[in-house]
Amino acid sequence: LLAERRCEAMVVITSGVGSRVLDAARRTAAESGLRIAGVLGKPFTMDEVKAFLSRHSGPVARPRVPVRDQAEPTEEELRSGLDHGELVLAFQPKVRCEDGALAGFEALVRWDHGGTIIYPDRFIPLAERTGLIDQLTEVVLRDAVRWLATHFAEAHVAMSVNISARSLSAHELGDRIFDECRANGLDPARLILEVTESSAMHDPHRSLELLTRLRVRGFHLSIDDFGTGFSSMVQLVRLPFSEVKVDKSFVMELARSQESRAVVRSIVDLAASLGLRSTAEGVEDAEALAYLREVGCTLAQGYYIARPMFSEAALAWAREWKGLA
């Protein structure tokens, strides 16, 4: 909240939770652009506070990451962008870990705003707040379905699309996507709808109903950003998912972190024992890929394989791609 409100004040983080946790909190706060004076573990004495304050009373360097350096787009701008076809898709390949064979693409939306490319983190929250997300989801689904149907006849090449929690609860969503698939002669089973762990668990009862409806239609469901939420395993296994996407925060750290390796291995094992495929996103180096193969992860997605690319570049990539050695 402080970061969102562009808080300029210096912040001291204090708690009795222990230094590892305090350190994590400090990093998070600094990464969101807050000015962190330091951490103060509890319990502390008045003398310690005095010493701390006198150490930190001078000017503190500005944070490395500016909170917001560009003006936020407004609702009007986004609405106009949607109406004028300024939302375009980038496609990022997903390949099989074992041999690198192409398994599909994830559609990632970009806003081409007068030649400036704006990334989704800057406007998806706005779209969700203002209700424009339903229109956005529709545009993305339509374009993604058409692109796949036009360029990839192979049944094993799938298309993953991100669905916001808000759009998920729109009852007509299933019908709309189904119609779009039919109009393009695309088997619904080639479409994977990605829902984040946190959004699926917000109202597990209702999610179960909505997700089951979609699954019955034939779409596949993927649980995105897995490992970042606080879901109960019991709840998760009740939901009709076909894929688990291991969050990139763990995958990016595979080469360096023992903890991340343990987390990734157990998520991949959990998925396998439930009969689900696992996709690791954020594969940035050969070490990560090697580890994923070792633990039997199904698919890999990340800069090491390819970045998200606009249509032409993605098609050229697919023509050239020879798999992994």
Q: Which residues bind ligand C2E (CB under 6 A)?
A: 92, 108-109, 119-121, 124, 140, 162, 164, 224-225, 248, 252, 281-284, 302-303, 308
State yes or no: residue 197 binds Ca ion (CB under 5 A): no
| Nearer to Ca ion (CB atom), residue 162 or residue 167 | 162
Q: What CA–CA distance (Å, rounded) separates 229 from 198?
A: 5
Q: What CA–CA distance (Å, rounded) separates 318 from 314?
A: 6
State yes or no: residue 225 binds Ca ion (CB under 5 A): yes
Q: What CA–CA distance (Å, rounded) separates 78 from 111?
A: 9
| Nearer to ligand C2E (CB atom), residue 149 or residue 165 | 165
Radius of gyration from C-alpha coordinates of the chain: 22
- Strands 243-246 and 220-226 turn out to be parallel
Both structure tokens of 67: 């909170």
CB of 192 to Ca ion, least distance (A): 10
CB of 48 to ligand C2E, least distance (A): 39
CB of 169 to ligand C2E, least distance (A): 13
CB of 218 to ligand C2E, least distance (A): 21
Region of 36-44, 139-147, 177-185, 217-225 interacting with Ca ion (CB under 5 A):
217-225
Q: What CA–CA distance (Å, rounded) separates 297 from 289?
A: 9
**Which residues lie across from 105 on neighbouring strands?**
93, 159
CB of 281 to Ca ion, least distance (A): 5
| Nearer to ligand C2E (CB atom), residue 108 or residue 268 | 108
Furthest CA-CA distance within the chain: 73
State yes or no: residue 224 binds Ca ion (CB under 5 A): yes
Q: Can the peptide bond before residue 59 be classed as cis, meaning omega within 30 degrees of 0?
A: no
**Residues forming the site for Ca ion (CB under 5 A):** 162, 194, 224-225
